[in-house]
């Protein structure tokens, strides 16, 4: 780690005074990483790259955007028509938000399945939940900026949620709006915050990485690395694997941007905002649909708001709800089943969020909401004590011995990975 | 173990693609499906049809509907040359000013002007149309679910109301319109326009020309986008293949040690 390991004298000179090259070498090149990470470990770096893509396109878009109720919609259309490659910038930014959430949701489910939230990575996990919250706020405010019908009515519905809070609710809503309805002051502050929050996200991402590098990545076996035989340097092994993952990710992303750019949007947002005309169905962006379903599942307004925020809040205490010492779902036969049920439950919630709140949809939405919370508050704590996990391998590089292979499917993967 | 996990990514992605489609589909009507030249990954606009559509817009729609985002210079995309665009623009009178005396004045249009709107503001438009507001058509194809098929259906689905259905005064029955009661009178009957190129002027054909024109107006960069998209996809697929090969090469020693 000393500075003289660098051949270039300029680099050596700088590194002696400002050890940035040593730092990079230590954290990005030598950084020992478990050698058995599967492709689900690609999604962290993909999320980081998505954030960078969003910030770069967003900065250029903001150079051409006008945050005023009379000009916002027109300025977006000008970007689409008259700014050189403005359509490309905007479609990348618009679809980038969706792809950022796709990547982050996969990243989160990976953490849930492999127990990446467990000791000693509780703070790493909680910082991730903070990032998710910040992303949701940023995405919501960004969707308001084009000032289409869904922008306006989405902003109206979501900000109105705060009016459910007792005593202070109405005051908070007026304060958020900067007036007595969603109007120009609202648009201006949303633009300001939409520009600010991504940089706050960058800050929390840095903390997330610091916390990650303290103990290193979890891995599909969920056991600690026991020495150099279990790890490989991050570069070149995971730089090239992340690069391959990035190429595949960009292929899907480009397919959406160039061939289905409006698929994940809503046609109503190409109608300028009109405070006098409510759209037939006010639907949030797809990535909010599960939370929207939870909001609507509770008949009481305040209860719905609390449930929606509770759905995120429960993630903060997840490391203490699931106290099973075994991290990876691979060695927890019952947890594994409930994980997939929970995953299906989230998809059901997303579907219900897109449907009108009537008839059978209400019933399904309520059952799925109850299950969401049951999974965290009841099932995981019970499994922590009631479940007998399968025996863990001794280390990443040591094969499993003994009668662990009762289930054929479960035995196959560790065998290939571990030997 | 590994295979069911791999379905996770696929499930998340497919779910995220199917949900908004379900939400956007709404409506109580069945649309007429048409093969549009601009759909598909290699889609392009039909210039002759767009020119006819522009003519039909001018002669049939423009009395009530604006196209505020379209400037005459944009008509170059339809295949008009500079002289033709200048001539088209000069057919219009646009308000300009104030001049040195501080007065607004009228002058002939130039290519940089937007197509003038039929009404000065929404209230004037409503006053002239029984309180209904004829929407701007620049973005209409993108502002409706399945916009192209929807507009084609809307323009060709005026019918007599079924027995027992009361159509209020000033409303019309349209099978493709949500709720079926539309304030816009039937715009096309067949032979509404006379095309210089002698093309079909049946109701269906003119409706298709209009949709081709309005699809371009909603998304003028569509051809450039798809052309660039094909090149980008080829590049990214090759890059994915190359980086996969590089990854296998770099990881060979780790895999060998494991084997």
Confidence of residue B25 (pLDDT cuts 50, 70, 90): very low
Per residue in A149-161, pLDDT (tens digit) is 999 999 999 999 9
Do residues A92 and A196 both lie within one domain?
yes
Q: CA angle, B135 as apex, B134 and B138 as ends, to 5°?
A: 135
Are residues A304 and A242 both part of a single domain?
A: no
Structure tokens at A291: 């939370």
**pLDDT band for position A400 (50/70/90)?**
low
**Mean of per-residue pLDDT scores for chain A:** 93
Contacts of B87 (CB under 8 A, 6+ apart): none
Q: Is residue A328 part of a domain?
A: no
Mean pLDDT in residue range B90-112: 96
For residues A160 and A232, membership in a common domain is answered with: yes
CATH number for position A233? 1.20.810.10
DSSP string, B140-203: TTTSSTTHHHHHHHHHH-B-PPPTTPPPPTT-EEBTTSTTSEESSPP---SS-S--TT----SH
A208 is catalytic: no
- Report DSSP letters for B73-131, one per residue: GGGGGGT--HHHHHHHHHTSEEEE---TTS--EEEE--TTSBPPPSSSSHHHHHHHTTT
Active site residue A230: no
Quick check: A247 and B243 CB within 8 A? yes
User: How far is A148 from A63, CA to CA, in rounded Å?
Assistant: 20
Whether A409 is covered by a domain: the verdict is no
pLDDT at residue B21 above 80? no
Asked if residue A394 belongs to a domain, the reply is no
Q: Are residues A124 and A80 in the same domain?
A: yes
pLDDT in tens, B192-235: 999 999 999 999 999 999 999 999 999 999 999 999 999 999 99
Residue A6 has pLDDT above 70, yes or no: yes
The angle at the Cα of B212, spanning B206 to B216, to the nearest 5 degrees, equals: 145
Q: Which domain holds residue A152?
A: 38-284
Instruction: Identify all chain A residues contacting B233, using CB atoms and an 8 Å cutoff.
Output: 251, 254-255, 258
Q: Is residue A22 part of a domain?
A: yes
Tell me the two tokens of residue A97: 């938000």
* pLDDT 10s digits, B145-181: 999 999 999 999 999 999 999 999 999 999 999 889 9
* Residue A53 within a domain: yes
Cβ–Cβ of B16/A254 closer than 8 Å?
no
B127-131: long-range contacts at Cβ-Cβ below 8 A with a sequence spacing of 24 or more?
B128/B64, B129/B64, B129/B183, B130/B170, B130/B183, B131/B183
Both A196 and A239 in a single domain? yes
Q: What is the CA radius of gyration of chain B?
A: 25
pLDDT digits (tens, 9 = 90+) for B55-75: 999 999 999 999 999 999 999
Question: Among the listed ranges A312-316, A396-400, A402-406, B180-184, which one has the minimum average pLDDT value?
Answer: A402-406
Q: How far apart are CA A391 and CA A330, in angstroms?
A: 10
* Residue A268 φ/ψ, nearest 5 degrees: -60, -20
Final residue belonging to a domain, choices A284, A315, A341? A284
Please check whether residues A174 and A212 belong to one and the same domain: yes
Chain A, 61-100: which have a CB under 8 Å from a chain B CB? 77, 80-81, 87-88, 91, 98
| A137 part of a folded domain | yes
Q: How high is the pLDDT of residue A63?
A: 98
What are the angstrom distances between the C-alpha of A177 and each of A65, A159, A182, A200?
A: 21, 8, 6, 22
pTM of the model: 0.91
Q: Are residues A140 and A270 in the same domain?
A: yes
**Which stretch of DSSP H or E encloses residue A118?**
none
Q: What is the dihedral of CA A87, A91, A94, A95, to 10 degrees?
A: 180
Per-residue buried b or exposed e for A14-37, using 16+ beta carbons within 10 Å of the residue's own CB? ebeeeeebbeebeeeeebebbbbb
Q: How far, in Å, CA of A128 to CA of A112, rounded?
A: 12
pLDDT of residue A18 exceeding 90, the answer is yes
Same domain for A66 and A177, yes or no, is: yes
Q: Which residue of A has its CA nearest to B22?
A: A354
Q: How many domains does the structure of chain A reveal?
A: 3
- Say if residue A248 is in the same domain as residue A371: no
Q: Does B225 lie at the interface with A, CB-CB under 8 angstroms?
A: yes
Q: Are residues A50 and A172 in the same domain?
A: yes
Determine, for residues B228 and A268 on separate chains, whether the beta-carbon distance falls below 8 Å: no
Contact assignment for A267 to B144 by CB distance below 8 Å: yes
Are A185 and A308 in the same domain? no
**Residue B89 in this model has a pLDDT that exceeds 50:** yes
Per-residue pLDDT tens digits for A225-254 = 998 999 999 999 999 999 999 999 999 999
ipTM score here? 0.89
Joined tokens for residue A387:
């479940």
pLDDT class of B24 with cuts at 50, 70, 90? very low
Task: Give the closest residue to B178 by CA, choosing from B146, B133, B220.
Answer: B146
Contact B250 A267 (CB under 8 A): no
Residue B15: which of A268, A347, A409 has the nearest Cβ? Answer: A347
Q: What is the pLDDT of residue B107?
A: 96
Same domain, A23 and A111: no
Instruction: Judge whether A400 lies within some domain.
Output: no
Question: Would residue A15 show up in a list of annotated catalytic residues for this protein?
Answer: no
Does a structural domain hold residue A319?
A: yes
A259 closest CB neighbour out of B218, B226, B243: B226
């Amino acid at each position: 780690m000393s500075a003289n390991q660098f051949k270039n004298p300029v680099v050596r000179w700088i590194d002696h005074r400002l050890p940035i090259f040593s730092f990079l070498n230590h954290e990005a090149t030598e950084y020992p990483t478990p050698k058995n990470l599967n492709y689900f470990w690609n999604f962290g770096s993909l999320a980081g790259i998505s954030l960078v893509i969003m910030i770069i396109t967003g900065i250029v878009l903001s150079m051409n955007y006008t945050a005023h109720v009379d000009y916002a919609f027109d300025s977006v259309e000008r970007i689409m028509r008259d700014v050189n490659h403005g359509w490309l910038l905007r479609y990348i930014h618009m679809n980038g938000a969706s792809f950022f959430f796709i990547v982050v949701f996969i990243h989160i489910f990976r953490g849930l399945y492999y127990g990446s939230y467990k000791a000693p990575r509780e703070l790493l996990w909680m910082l991730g939940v903070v990032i998710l919250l910040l992303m949701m706020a940023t995405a919501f405010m960004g969707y308001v900026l084009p000032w289409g019908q869904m922008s306006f009515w989405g902003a109206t519905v979501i900000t109105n949620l705060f009016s459910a809070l007792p005593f202070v609710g109405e005051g908070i809503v007026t304060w958020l709006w900067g007036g007595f309805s969603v109007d120009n002051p609202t648009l201006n502050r949303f633009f300001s915050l939409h520009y600010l929050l991504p940089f706050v996200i960058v800050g929390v991402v840095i903390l997330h990485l610091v916390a990650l590098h303290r103990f290193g990545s979890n891995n599909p076996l969920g056991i600690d690395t026991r020495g150099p035989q279990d790890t490989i340097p991050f570069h070149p092994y995971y730089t090239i694997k992340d690069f391959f993952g990035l190429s595949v990710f960009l292929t899907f992303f480009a397919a959406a941007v160039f061939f289905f750019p409006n698929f994940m949007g809503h046609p109503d947002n190409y109608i300028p905002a009109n405070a006098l005309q409510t759209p037939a169905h006010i639907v949030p962006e797809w990535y909010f649909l599960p939370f929207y379903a939870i909001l609507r599942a509770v008949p009481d307004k305040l209860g719905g708001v609390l449930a929606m925020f509770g759905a995120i809040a429960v993630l903060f205490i997840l490391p203490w709800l699931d106290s099973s010492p075994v991290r990876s779902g691979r060695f927890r036969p019952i947890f594994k089943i409930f994980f997939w049920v929970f995953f299906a439950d989230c998809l059901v919630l997303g579907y219900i969020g897109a449907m009108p709140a009537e008839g059978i949809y209400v019933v399904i939405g309520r059952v799925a909401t109850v299950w969401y919370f049951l999974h965290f508050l009841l099932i995981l704590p019970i499994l922590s004590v009631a479940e007998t996990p399968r025996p863990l391998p001794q280390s990443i590089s040591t094969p499993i011995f003994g009668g662990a292979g009762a289930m054929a499917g479960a035995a196959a993967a560790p065998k290939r990975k571990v030997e | 173990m590994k295979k069911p996990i791999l379905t996770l990514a696929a499930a998340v992605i497919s779910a995220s693609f199917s949900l908004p489609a379900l939400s956007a589909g709404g409506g109580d009507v069945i649309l007429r499906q048409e093969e549009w030249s601009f759909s598909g990954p290699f889609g392009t606009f039909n210039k002759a049809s767009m020119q006819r559509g522009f003519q039909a817009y001018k002669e049939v729609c423009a009395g009530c509907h604006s196209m505020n985002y379209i400037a005459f210079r944009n008509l170059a995309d339809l295949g008009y040359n500079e002289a033709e665009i200048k001539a088209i623009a000069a057919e219009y009178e646009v308000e300009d000013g104030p001049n040195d005396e501080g007065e607004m004045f009228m002058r002939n249009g130039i290519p940089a002007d937007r197509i003038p709107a039929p009404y000065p503001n929404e209230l004037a438009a409503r006053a002239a149309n029984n309180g209904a507001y004829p929407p701007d058509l620049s973005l209409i194809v993108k502002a409706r679910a399945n916009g192209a098929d929807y507009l084609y259906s809307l323009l060709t689905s005026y019918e007599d109301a079924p027995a027992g259905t009361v159509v209020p005064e000033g409303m019309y029955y349209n099978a493709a319109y949500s709720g079926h009661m539309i304030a816009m009178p039937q715009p096309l009957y067949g032979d509404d326009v006379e095309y210089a190129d002698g093309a079909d002027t049946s109701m269906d054909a003119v409706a298709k020309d209009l949709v081709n024109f309005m699809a371009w107006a909603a998304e003028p960069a569509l051809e450039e986008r798809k052309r660039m998209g094909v090149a980008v996809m080829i590049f990214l697929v090759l890059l994915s293949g190359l980086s996969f090969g590089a990854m296998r090469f770099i990881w060979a020693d780790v895999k060998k040690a494991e084997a």
